[in-house]
């Protein structure tokens, strides 16, 4: 049963635009709100007395950076914490399951060495120590190197899209596991009509990050989006209601950062066909949003995961 949940809230774009007249204050308020949420999550983890925190969220929800922010806050509160990425348990490209059309199913939990995940989490629960694999992404295979982990009586934060799948923690006592779902909870309306939802924000996060950090055309990111959403439906959302805590990863002032970057990226890349229509439709949703300067992003902001490469 969910113990700490956060309903979605609908914010008028007009109210955002008024707040954007004081951009520094809006950015500071948004950043402080997120820090407060992470602090509260850390307090709940400590009070739970658990050893294993399983943290998931959909694509571009900010789960990876949030896992590290949570670890930093736990350490600040006096509890040692270590972050483990489930990506390091990938079996290798030759073992990936395939979709009916023959393409690789990157979202499938069978991309991971599930028995090894269960073994490592069991050892961490029992002894606080284990040896983790390291995945070589360049060669798409498991590295010969490993990582020794000692929790020192603290907490292990396991992050990844399959973190709430009960198969992963089958060997860990229920009282030793605390489950967190990271997701955006703020959407935006004009005259009460929702025009920008959390999925729109996540698509922009992912597309703008890929364009700025990797020089990747939005066309390639958009071409994968339907498959990403399908994977979320099949493998993530079904476990959402098992979470003990929902960590809200929304930032109100992010709306203006996206508005600013959309204009830049649309001038850099030319799209055609269905992807162009999807991108233009997404961009039109932000036409009434006052853009904000990227310099507002603090050096330690969680949003640096998505927009840091675009900051000059």
| Greater model confidence, 191 or 270 | 191
Q: Residue 2: which pLDDT band, with cuts at 50, 70 and 90? A: very low
CB of 48 closer than 8 Å to CB of 177: no
Question: Residue 269 pLDDT more than 80?
Answer: no
Query: Which residue bears the tokens 């407060």?
Result: 36
Question: Residue 279 pLDDT more than 70?
Answer: yes
Sheet of 186-190, strands arranged across = 9-12, 186-190, 193-196
pLDDT at position 158 is 98
In a domain, 161, yes or no: yes
In a domain, 312, yes or no: no
In a domain, 228, yes or no: yes
Q: What is the mean pLDDT of the chain?
A: 91
pLDDT at position 98 is 82
pLDDT at position 1 is 44
pLDDT tens, position by position, 92-150 = 878 878 878 877 777 888 999 999 999 999 999 999 999 999 999 888 889 999 999 99
Q: Residue 4: which pLDDT band, with cuts at 50, 70 and 90? A: low
**What residues have CB less than 8 Å from 53, skipping those under 6 apart?**
45, 70, 155, 156, 157, 158, 177, 178, 179, 180
pLDDT at position 124 is 97
In a domain, 311, yes or no: no
End-to-end, the C-alpha distance of the chain in Å comes to 45
Closest CA to 208 of 292, 137, 283: 283
pLDDT tens, position by position, 44-78 = 999 999 999 999 999 999 999 999 999 999 999 99
In a domain, 65, yes or no: yes
277: containing domain: 9-304
Closest CA to 261 of 218, 199, 198, 197: 218
Question: Residue 289 pLDDT more than 80?
Answer: yes
Question: Residue 251 pLDDT more than 70?
Answer: yes
In a domain, 225, yes or no: yes
In a domain, 310, yes or no: no
Task: Look at the chain and report how many structural domains it folds into.
Answer: 1
pTM of the model: 0.93
In a domain, 1, yes or no: no
pLDDT at position 213 is 67
Cα 177 from Cα 54, distance rounded (Å): 7
pLDDT tens, position by position, 12-32 = 999 999 999 999 999 999 999
pLDDT at position 283 is 87
| CATH code of the domain in which 228 resides | 3.40.50.300
């Amino acid at each position: 049963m969910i113990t700490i949940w956060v309903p979605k809230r609908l914010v008028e774009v007009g109210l955002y635009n008024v707040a954007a007249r004081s951009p520094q204050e809006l950015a500071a308020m948004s950043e402080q709100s997120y820090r407060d949420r992470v602090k509260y999550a850390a307090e709940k983890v400590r009070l739970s007395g658990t050893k294993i925190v399983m943290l998931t969220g959909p694509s571009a929800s900010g789960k990876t950076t949030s896992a590290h922010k949570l670890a930093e806050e736990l350490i600040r509160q006096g509890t040692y914490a270590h972050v483990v990425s489930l990506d390091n348990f990938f079996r290798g490209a030759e073992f990936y399951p395939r979709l009916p059309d023959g393409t690789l199913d990157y979202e499938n939990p069978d991309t991971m060495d599930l028995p090894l995940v269960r073994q490592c989490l069991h050892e961490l629960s029992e002894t606080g120590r284990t040896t983790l694999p390291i995945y070589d992404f360049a060669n798409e295979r498991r590295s010969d190197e490993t990582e020794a982990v000692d929790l020192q009586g603290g907490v292990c934060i396991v992050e990844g899209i399959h973190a709430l799948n009960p198969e992963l923690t089958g060997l860990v006592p229920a009282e030793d596991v605390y489950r967190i779902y990271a997701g955006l909870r703020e959407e935006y309306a004009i005259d009460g009509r929702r025009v920008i939802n959390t999925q729109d924000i996540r698509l922009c996060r992912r597309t703008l990050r890929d364009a700025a950090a990797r020089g990747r055309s939005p066309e390639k990111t958009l071409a994968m989006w339907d498959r990403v959403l399908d994977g979320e439906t099949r493998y993530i959302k079904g476990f959402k209601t098992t979470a003990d805590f929902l960590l809200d990863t929304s930032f109100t002032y992010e709306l203006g950062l996206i508005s600013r970057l959309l204009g830049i990226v649309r001038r850099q890349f030319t799209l055609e066909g269905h992807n162009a229509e999807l991108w233009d439709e997404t961009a039109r949703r932000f036409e009434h949003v006052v853009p904000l300067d990227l310099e507002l992003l603090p050096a330690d902001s969680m949003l640096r995961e998505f927009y840091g490469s675009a900051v000059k």
